[in-house]
Amino acid sequence: MLHATENTLAKYEALVASLRAIDGMNERRPGIFYRKSKAFLHFHEDPTGLYADLRMYVNDEFVRMRVTSRVEQSALITLVTSALTQPVRK
């Protein structure tokens, strides 16, 4: 899977705008978010849709999830908010 291009992310502007509005992470490049100095969230494009990799601090690993539909996007927003309340592992 390739990292999502700016053209692909433009198709999901509402999702990306919602993520930009969440405190606790910053967007270093379009669609690539960091929490403090660690990569936290980024997107991949695939013929089957858009996918997000989200770092879950419980095990300090990325979880990949499909985020093409509104329901999937809502689930991502919920997980991002939850992950931001977890302490960062060093």
pLDDT, tens digit only, all 90 positions of the chain: 789 999 999 999 999 999 999 999 999 999 999 998 999 999 999 999 999 999 987 778 899 999 999 999 999 999 999 989 887 766
Q: What is the pLDDT of residue 90?
A: 61
Enter the pTM of the model: 0.90
35 backbone dihedrals φ, ψ, rounded to 5°: -115, 115
Q: What element of type H or E holds 41? A: strand 38-46
Q: What is the pLDDT of residue 88?
A: 73
Q: What is the pLDDT of residue 87?
A: 76
- Say if residues 47 and 28 touch (Cβ distance below 8 Å): no
Residues 6+ apart with CB under 8 A from 40: 25, 33, 34, 54, 55, 83
Q: Fill in the amino acid letter for 8.
A: T
Torsion of CA 59, 60, 64, 70, to 10 degrees: 90
Q: What is the pLDDT of residue 17?
A: 97
